[in-house]
Structure 1
Amino acid sequence: MLGRSGWSRAARSIHTRILLSYIGLIVLSGGLCAVAIHEVLVIRLESRITEAVQQEFQEINRLTTDGRDPRTGAPFTSVQAVFDVYFRRNVPSHEEAVLAFADGRLHHAALGRFPIDQLPHDTMQSFATSVRSYSLADGRPPIDRFDTARGEAYYGILPVRVGGSSGAFVVTILPVTQRQEIADLQTYGAAAVLGVVVLASGCAWLVTGRVLGPVRQLTETARLISQSDLTHRIPVGRQREAAEMALTFNAMLDRLEAVFRREREFILDASHELRGPLTISLGNLTMLDPEDSDRPQWRSTIALVTDELERMGRIVGDLQLLADVAHPQFLQPERIDLELFVAELAVKLSALAPRHWHVDDLGAGIVVADRHRLTEAVINLADNAVRHTEDSGTVALGANVTGTEFRLWVRDTGCGVPLDDQPHIFDRFRRGDQAHLRYPGSGLGLSIVRAIAEAHGGRAELVSRPGAGATFTLVIPRQTREGWHLGQDSDC
């Protein structure tokens, strides 16, 4: 059984709130419909009553204006004669009573089909003493009401004047049967609304349960997910919206899992790379003897430790640069004359080391990019090429513009990149199997190159054959990415 907290959670759940809203809407709609139907039925009832009273008034008017006394064959000379003929010829309808007053006294009363045996005394006195003059506005008699033991009755009074006599013709209707039919209809309507509410509530519970099923699965999956376990996924159903939500959520989990996996790999690689310099530094420092501070061994140890600490500083600097890639201000784009830019780079690179430096192609055209970040990437590529070529080797720089992008490459005639290493050459802390033994470095240079290319909306490519050199290329869009804002055009 659910405890108090369980019931509280169930009452606050979206499933319950949707169901209650649905039920409330049905009840409100049913109630408004019932009220509207009741009002329409009452209006129609009153309209029929008015028409029935009007019909009786027309009958008595025809007698007084066009009728003749059957005893004499001449027009009527008194209201009593008119009333006598009328009551002989007409029988009141069901729940209708007709009364005739002459000279202030009751002359005839037809109450045989009226729901009550006699009218209230006050009402009869009012009929007898009434001197009000009723007019038929728009052809319809004025209708008044009085209370009875079986509900409210409707009545109309028609003044009648014939010759020198006057009287009043009264038609009263007490619609007990019709009111009971309206009440029964309301009862049946309420029962029908209740049945609809129960049936609709059950259907709504099932439908909302199915509709909210993916939401519950999403909640349960999110509850089971932690940073160490991102393997749970939501089953993809057949419902279009639910399937789209599940696919979107699963795609987000795939991206998160990839991010966390790279983060773990990065932490492991960083700790491994930093552990080496720390171990070397601490190991050498523990071997120092304060009494031997003047000996060459002391100075060489200090130099070694300093070198390792500087290497750690470079690693930390490279890591900081990679972390800054996601910052919106990482790039500062400007208009660049590609030909002049490549010529400047060629001068800068030639000072790195004594190699055969060559420019394959200066390129031509105006591009939009971050000059300093591209320079940093190219210097990283050139430094990598220098370390993998002999003194007599060739390192070349080139650029060209093709369509909506431009390419900037560094080519060398060194040993090339082994085929097994090529798919991972741009990963952090990834170097060739023997590269870490032959060349110092953090293994972050090519990762920085790729990060700069991707920050521009481009990519980094490698073409290499073992023993035949390698060509690293930056492929960058010529125009600014969305969100970049340029200042004044440069004079390049």
Structure 2
Amino acid sequence: MTEPAQAARQGSRVTARWRIVAWLMLALVIAMTALIVTVRSAMIAEVGRNLNADVVQENQEFRTFAGEGRNPETARPFTDVSSMFEVMLRRQRAAEGEMLVGYVPARQQALTVEGVRTPSLAEAGLEPGSSEFGRLLTGPRSGIVETRGGDARFVRDEVTLGGERGVFLVLAFERHHLQEVDSTVRLMVGVAAGALLLAAAIAWLAAGQILRPVRSVRRAAAEITERDLTRRIPVQGNDDIAELAVTFNGMLDRLEAAFAAEQRFVDDAAHELRTPITIIRGHLETMSDDPAERAATTTLVLNELSRMSRIVSDLLALAKAERPDFIHLAEPVDMAELTLDIDAKMQALGPRRWTLAEVADGPAVVDAQRVTQAVLQLAQNAVEHTGDGDLIELASRFVRDPELGDAVAITVRDDGPGVAAEDAELIFDRFARGAGQSASGARSRAGAGLGLAIVRAIAEGTAAR
């Protein structure tokens, strides 16, 4: 690899397949992390709402019970707070993580009912007489308190019966509920990790499937040489990658056509120029000092050089015919003016009976220079196969072609020997000559066999545009 090519290859060496998988995994990780965080926050908020509802409900039940003021077992009114707390709490069942406390300050007596996974007052650091318990009795009537057993939501209510004051507390501890949330989140993380692994495997396979045509393009590009441009990439589907393969194949078609045209030009030039070069070299090597012989040799060499120049010009014209800009179609051309201009130029080719049979009257979108080149080449060919005074007729007309639609037909007709049926297609190939004869009866060999090939290239290029 050359230094410029090496310098151009900078940046990450990670393959496109891995980059696709990495970006997809990054997007999934971000999405799943956001989902898990959102779900966890929602679950914690739901725990708070449920605990608040639970403590409020328990307090409402206490208010209802205390408001009735009768022992449901004896139907008699309660006479003291302690007995009311005993009956009420005996009939209650605390929820998980919940504690119901009936406290009589005058007796320093605390009756409790605890649900499962609920710390006791001692485990929570709320023993009667402690400062923490005292704050519950004198502070806000509801809120969240920090204990050794974790945060707890509470509601406090008071009742006075028989001159005795009682305090009713409802405590709902968050710890075990938050543990369940964390357990659910861990499960979600595990499921997400498994899903990420599965997604990574699917992404790896999908990226490989998507990038397979790209790898085919790379392999095809690596196998292409200046002598073998026949490799093509199979096209499957109609997606962007398939379009890439189609575009790459189109580029290879153009490269193959360009290299073929270049090789054809080189082969044609080598084939056609070998003979005049050999003739010139042979005459120059054997040329003597005789003035007459030197003059004859000089004339012959100049003729051969002129023929070589014409061959090169014709070969260049045919090489340009492979390019898309060979035919220039711009503004419409007045066909009457173009026909008259071509007729004037044709009459300088030789002493023939030039006739203008028909003139197309109207505009047409054609390349005037290429059309003139093609018609003059036909006229030159007619001159070579006719004699002095013979008829050469030019005509142009508008026609309706079944394939091309509206078109312009330009014809050159002469009184020469014509073309044999078997040579009708052959004469338009490069370096091909028909079996026709000139006016003197000898087979015409003046040209290199490129003139009619140029005419054909111009006609086909014009029709394609």
TM-score band w.r.t. shorter chain: 0.7 to 0.9
Structure 2 residue 371 is matched with structure 1 residue 395: no
Structure 2 residue 343 is matched with structure 1 residue 339: no
**Residue 125 of structure 2 contacts residue 147 of structure 2 at CA under 8 Å; is this kept in 1?**
no
CA distance in structure 2 between the aligned counterparts of 1:401 and 1:104, rounded to whole angstroms: 125
CA distance in structure 2 between the aligned counterparts of 1:272 and 1:432, rounded to whole angstroms: 19
Identity %, equivalent residues: 32
Aligned to 1:416: 418
Deviation at residue 44 of structure 1 after TM alignment: 2.0
TM-score for both structures, normalised by structure 1: 0.75
**Residue 268 of structure 2 contacts residue 315 of structure 2 at CA under 8 Å; is this kept in 1?**
no
Deviation at residue 386 of structure 1 after TM alignment: 1.5
Match of 2:294, SS state, is helix
Of the three residues 95, 103, 106, the one matched with 2:97 is 95
CA distance in structure 2 between the aligned counterparts of 1:165 and 1:430, rounded to whole angstroms: 132
Deviation at residue 389 of structure 1 after TM alignment: 2.8
Alignment of 1:14-93 (within 5 A): 14-64=16-66, 66-70=67-71, 83-93=85-95
- Read off the aligned partner of 1:144 and give its amino acid letter: I
Deviation at residue 420 of structure 1 after TM alignment: 5.2
- Read off the aligned partner of 1:29 and give its amino acid letter: A
Of the three residues 100, 103, 128, the one matched with 2:134 is 128
CA distance in structure 2 between the aligned counterparts of 1:145 and 1:425, rounded to whole angstroms: 108
Alignment of 1:99-178 (within 5 A): 99-102=101-104, 107-110=109-112, 112-113=114-115, 114-117=117-120, 118-121=122-125, 125-130=131-136, 131-134=138-141, 143-148=143-148, 152-160=150-158, 162=160, 168-178=167-177
Aligned to 2:455: 449
Aligned to 2:187: 188
Deviations 1:185-209 (A, max 9, x none): 2333222223223333333333333
Deviations 1:333-356 (A, max 9, x none): 443332333233223322322223
Deviation at residue 86 of structure 1 after TM alignment: 3.4
Going from structure 1 to structure 2, the CA distance change for 1:110 and 1:416 (only over 3 Å counts) comes to farther
Deviation at residue 383 of structure 1 after TM alignment: 0.9
Deviation at residue 165 of structure 1 after TM alignment: 6.8
Aligned to 2:354: 357
CA distance in structure 1 between the aligned counterparts of 2:169 and 2:196, rounded to whole angstroms: 48
Match of 2:168, SS state, is strand
Aligned to 2:4: none
CA distance in structure 1 between the aligned counterparts of 2:420 and 2:175, rounded to whole angstroms: 104
Aligned to 2:261: 262
**Residue 153 of structure 1 contacts residue 172 of structure 1 at CA under 8 Å; is this kept in 2?**
no
Of the three residues 377, 381, 397, the one matched with 1:380 is 377
Deviation at residue 321 of structure 1 after TM alignment: 4.4
Match of 2:205, SS state, is helix
CA distance in structure 1 between the aligned counterparts of 2:452 and 2:215, rounded to whole angstroms: 44
TM-score for both structures, normalised by structure 2: 0.79
CA distance in structure 1 between the aligned counterparts of 2:457 and 2:82, rounded to whole angstroms: 115
**Residue 265 of structure 2 contacts residue 319 of structure 2 at CA under 8 Å; is this kept in 1?**
no
Deviations 1:62-95 (A, max 9, x none): 244x321448956x79866764553243232222
Deviation at residue 226 of structure 1 after TM alignment: 1.0
CA distance in structure 2 between the aligned counterparts of 1:257 and 1:422, rounded to whole angstroms: 29
Deviation at residue 168 of structure 1 after TM alignment: 4.6
CA distance in structure 2 between the aligned counterparts of 1:161 and 1:188, rounded to whole angstroms: 46
Deviation at residue 53 of structure 1 after TM alignment: 0.9
Going from structure 1 to structure 2, the CA distance change for 1:146 and 1:11 (only over 3 Å counts) comes to farther
Deviation at residue 29 of structure 1 after TM alignment: 3.2
Aligned to 2:6: none
Aligned to 1:232: 231
Deviations 1:163-186 (A, max 9, x none): 887665332222444334333323
Going from structure 1 to structure 2, the CA distance change for 1:449 and 1:165 (only over 3 Å counts) comes to farther
Deviations 1:351-376 (A, max 9, x none): 32222323332122222333333222
Deviation at residue 55 of structure 1 after TM alignment: 0.6
Aligned to 2:307: 311
Match of 1:155, SS state, is strand
Going from structure 1 to structure 2, the CA distance change for 1:427 and 1:262 (only over 3 Å counts) comes to farther
In structure 2, the gaps of 5 or more residues are 1-10, 401-405
Deviation at residue 406 of structure 1 after TM alignment: 1.6
Going from structure 1 to structure 2, the CA distance change for 1:253 and 1:335 (only over 3 Å counts) comes to closer
- Read off the aligned partner of 1:365 and give its amino acid letter: G
**Residue 105 of structure 1 contacts residue 128 of structure 1 at CA under 8 Å; is this kept in 2?**
no
**Residue 154 of structure 2 contacts residue 172 of structure 2 at CA under 8 Å; is this kept in 1?**
no
**RMSD of aligned Cα (Å):** 3.7
Deviation at residue 312 of structure 1 after TM alignment: 2.6
**Residue 50 of structure 1 contacts residue 143 of structure 1 at CA under 8 Å; is this kept in 2?**
no
CA distance in structure 2 between the aligned counterparts of 1:105 and 1:43, rounded to whole angstroms: 39
Deviation at residue 57 of structure 1 after TM alignment: 1.6
In structure 1, the gaps of 5 or more residues are 1-8, 135-141, 460-480, 482-492
Aligned to 1:462: none
Deviation at residue 427 of structure 1 after TM alignment: 4.2
Match of 2:99, SS state, is strand
CA distance in structure 1 between the aligned counterparts of 2:216 and 2:458, rounded to whole angstroms: 40
